[in-house]
């Protein structure tokens, strides 16, 4: 196996434009004689170029390939998570969910809840980005996906409020009404769950009325 250090790869890239850099890095990743670490390094360096060019899907796939080549669970976890982030940015939510799941499986139990919070924020940040660019339909799509992530009711209803406003902005009052009804139903369902059970009174019960 051929081992090329990160420094040696970077030396080969110095002064080259992005197209030539990518061509060289792709050759490294496809070199069957290159060892695992060398190919992983090349994939990670490719992500820098893809991110600069905002080629989110390419960045996601490169991070995933790097994760497959990583040798430790921690590095695999981090690379899978980064892959999931960029699949979200490329609007590929199905693959993002699958990739985040791979990262979650590799995480220690104590880290899974914070990781879940981070995943939620990845989606919310993208939705806010779309809102800031007045891309309301895309923002609604991301918020809709976020509602599937088993959120606390307060967070879910904050999102429903945002969605209702966005639906009104794009001229869909019926959908805005529906989402507000969903919020009301969620609140009602929560209240029913929280209602204390009424214990039977030993001294008096409904059966006493029939005597």
Question: Of 27, 72, 25, which Cα lies nearest the Cα of 45?
Answer: 25
In the chain, list all ranges with CATH 1.25.40.10. Answer: 16-107, 111-188
> What is the pLDDT, as a whole number, of residue 32?
78
Asked whether the beta carbons of 105 and 73 are under 8 A apart, the reply is no
Q: What is the pLDDT of residues 3-34, one digit of tens each?
A: 777 788 888 888 889 999 999 999 999 987 88
* Mean predicted lDDT score pLDDT of the chain: 89
Fold of the domain built from segment(s) 111-188 = 1.25.40
CATH architecture of the domain covering 16-107: Alpha Horseshoe (1.25)
Question: What's the angle, vertex CA 148, arms to CA 142 and CA 150, rounded to 5?
Answer: 130
Q: What is the pLDDT of residues 140-170, one digit of tens each?
A: 999 999 999 988 899 999 999 999 999 999 9
CA distances from 169 to 126, 142, 172, 208 (A): 19, 16, 8, 59
Model confidence, pTM? 0.82
Report whether pLDDT(198) > 60: no
Asked whether the beta carbons of 100 and 118 are under 8 A apart, the reply is no
Asked whether the beta carbons of 184 and 156 are under 8 A apart, the reply is no
Report whether pLDDT(104) > 50: yes
């Amino acid at each position: 196996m051929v081992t090329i250090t990160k420094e040696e790869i970077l030396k080969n890239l110095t002064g080259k434009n992005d197209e030539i850099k990518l061509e060289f890095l792709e050759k490294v990743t496809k070199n069957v004689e290159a060892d695992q670490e060398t190919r992983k390094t090349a994939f990670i360096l490719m992500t820098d170029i893809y991110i600069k060019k905002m080629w989110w899907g390419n960045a996601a796939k490169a991070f995933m390939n790097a994760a497959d080549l990583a040798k430790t669970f921690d590095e695999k976890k981090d690379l899978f998570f980064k892959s999931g982030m960029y699949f979200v940015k490329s609007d590929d939510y199905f693959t993002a969910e699958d990739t985040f799941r791979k990262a979650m499986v590799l995480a220690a139990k104590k880290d899974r809840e914070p990781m879940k919070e981070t995943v939620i924020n990845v989606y919310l940040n993208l939705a806010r980005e779309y809102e800031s660019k007045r891309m309301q339909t895309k923002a609604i799509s991301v918020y809709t996906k976020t509602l599937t992530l088993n959120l606390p009711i307060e967070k879910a209803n904050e999102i429903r409020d945002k969605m209702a406003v966005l639906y009104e902005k794009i001229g869909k009052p019926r959908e805005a009404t529906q989402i507000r009804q969903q919020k009301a139903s969620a609140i009602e369902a929560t209240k029913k769950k929280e209602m204390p059970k009424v214990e039977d009174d030993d001294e008096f019960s409904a059966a006493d009325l029939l005597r």
